[in-house]
């Protein structure tokens, strides 16, 4: 009984690391309403300064887009994290992307997921801006806090903190 009373006040905090180097952009400023209006979920974006995507969490790869522009990770706490490289990059049909993971792979923080030709994508896509979305945020009872920092260093900068009130 006492354990249940005290457990309600315990917060479980989870940190999501930056999967890329670059400039941090609030999701509301992404020039695509699917992301900026949070239709896909809560998140943040990064304007990459290089072409390397690293795992921001420990988890399992649950999706790799056939066009290699996006990867989904299920972390150990049940968050579904989508890293979507650029906007309208599906039209590139995989050109300029190299994926190093497959669905079912277990990954650790810092593990390479995708590499991409930054200049090719800048020239051939609407934007290189890369949303990082919690796709199941609408169904989870968690609080999301986003960094106020403006520059991200892959796997070093905490871009998002997720808090769950203990039940």
Using an 8 Å Cβ cutoff, are 23 and 47 in contact? yes
d(CA 128, CA 4): 47
C-alpha pair distances (Å), 115 with each of 79, 80, 104, 123, 138: 23, 21, 19, 17, 29
Checking 8-13 for CB contacts under 8 A at 24+ apart, the result is 8/165, 8/166, 8/167, 9/166, 10/165, 10/166, 11/163, 11/164, 11/165, 11/166, 12/77, 12/163, 12/164, 12/166, 13/161, 13/162, 13/163
At 11 the pLDDT is 58
d(CA 97, CA 69): 7
Using an 8 Å Cβ cutoff, are 156 and 71 in contact? no
Q: pTM of the full predicted structure?
A: 0.91
Task: Name all domains of the chain by residue range, CATH numbers in brackets.
Answer: 12-165 (2.70.70.10)
At 87 the pLDDT is 98
Instruction: Write down the catalytic residue from 52, 69, 84, 119.
Output: 84
Using an 8 Å Cβ cutoff, are 103 and 64 in contact? yes
Is 84 labeled as catalytic in the residue annotation? Answer: yes
What's phi and psi for 5, nearest 5 deg? -65, -45
Using an 8 Å Cβ cutoff, are 95 and 69 in contact? no
Question: If you count them, how many residues does the chain have?
Answer: 167
Q: What is the pLDDT along the chain (167 residues), one digit of tens a residue?
A: 444 444 444 458 899 999 999 999 999 999 999 999 999 999 999 999 999 999 999 999 999 999 999 999 999 999 999 999 999 999 999 999 999 999 999 999 999 999 999 999 999 999 999 999 999 999 988 999 999 999 999 999 999 999 986 54
At 166 the pLDDT is 53
């Amino acid at each position: 009984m006492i354990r249940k009373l005290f457990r309600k006040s315990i917060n479980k905090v989870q940190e999501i690391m930056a999967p890329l180097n670059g400039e941090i952009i609030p999701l509301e400023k992404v020039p695509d309403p699917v992301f900026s209006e949070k239709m896909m979920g809560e998140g943040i974006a990064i304007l990459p300064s290089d072409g390397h995507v690293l795992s921001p969490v420990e988890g399992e790869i649950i999706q790799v887009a056939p066009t290699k522009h996006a990867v989904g990770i299920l972390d150990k706490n049940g968050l579904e994290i989508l890293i979507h490289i650029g906007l309208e990059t599906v039209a590139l049909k995989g050109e300029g992307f190299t994926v190093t993971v497959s669905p079912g792979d277990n990954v650790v923080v810092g593990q390479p997921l995708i590499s991409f030709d930054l200049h090719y994508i800048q020239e051939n896509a609407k934007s290189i801006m890369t949303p990082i979305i919690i796709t199941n945020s609408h169904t989870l009872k968690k609080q999301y806090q986003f960094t106020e920092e403006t520059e991200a260093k892959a796997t070093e900068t905490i871009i998002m903190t997720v808090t769950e009130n203990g039940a």
